[in-house]
Structure 1
């Protein structure tokens, strides 16, 4: 039994080491140009070992994005936990999540505009990112799961759009989010005209 436990722990450590090495490469290179050979070399393992943990580059990319999405979500939750007003928590959550992505060289590289940004593609297809966004919206106020899911998908698109094509500055982006996104996602209790139909 001890052998089974140790092997699963080794697999977890190996996976983290590979993803950490990939993150370092993503921080200094165009994400699309980072290949499996590069990652294996940076992680200090053979290609065969790398493929034992990740069957191809897309699987590795997805694993990396999902791991970072969970980390970002945990950071975000801690940062906005004390904000009682749902609308302010939403606005702060959106602006903070963009700041966290932009402050990470490895994550911000996924939204570079030289080519079709790979971050937008993965964010759109990721069930993990959709689920984390839905969970965040449900933390603001309970709602119909179908509505929450659609809002989460839309929010992911809005945020990836701003990450790819930023506003003039942080104040401009905050104003855009406050004026257009917050009323649609979290309507004011006092203004029934802003509630979605």
Structure 2
């Protein structure tokens, strides 16, 4: 999009969605550390105009993460909906989340050696991501939030340092992560 003319007369949420779409393209090429100037240039507006829609880079990054998390959450929910076994459902939820993040060029660029710290910190500070993870675990309260944050940490770790092959990764999740999380959530339920 060239020039900020397209923003005039467009409702704020639609402009924010368009900015996030374009920010995703910038993140795919420049990683999580793309500047507001980089994004404003791609959007075709000034940095000042961009700041009217997002208070700062961190807010824009969080909005982008949450936007993509909604999409990934829907894919995970659809994929595991027919699985009756909690262990199978949890393992598959983590595997699908990893696959979907890696499939997204913008998010994949975040989990390079240079960007993993920023991406991990943003993922762990997103209340929305914690809410999604808590819902998949089927727990509530502080304990559910604690378990959800731990699962997000595991996902971030595997994104930053993959386990070698998808089969090996699935086996590690099924052996170490799933029993620990389910054991924790069952004793708290």
Show the counterpart of 1:3.
Answer: none
CA distance in 1, matches of 2:97, 2:181: 16
Q: Which residue of 2 aligns with 1:172?
A: 168
Show the counterpart of 1:44. 44
CA contact (8 A) 2:134 2:140 kept: no
SS in 1 for 2:133: helix
Deviation string 1:35-69 (CA, Å, 9 cap, x unpaired) is: 11211121122322211101111111111111111
- Whole-Å Cα distance in 2 between the matches of residues 99 and 133 of structure 1? 16
- What is the Cα-based RMSD across aligned positions, in Å? 2.1
When Rg is computed on C-alpha atoms for both structures, the one with the higher figure is 1
Query: Which residue matches 1:191?
Result: none
Question: How is 1:175-194 mapped onto 2 (pairs within 5 angstroms)?
Answer: 175-187=171-183
* Larger deviation, residues 102-111 vs 36-45: 36-45
Aligned residues: 180
TM-aligned CA deviation for residue 132 of structure 1: 0.9
2: distance between equivalents of 1:8 and 1:175? 52
Q: Distance in 2 between matches of 1:67 and 1:182?
A: 26
Instruction: Tell me the distance in 2 between the aligned counterparts of 1:8 and 1:108.
Output: 34
Gaps spanning 5+ residues in structure 2: where?
A: 1-7
What is the match of residue 4 of structure 1? Answer: none
- TM-score (normalised: structure 2): 0.87
- TM (normalized to structure 1)? 0.84
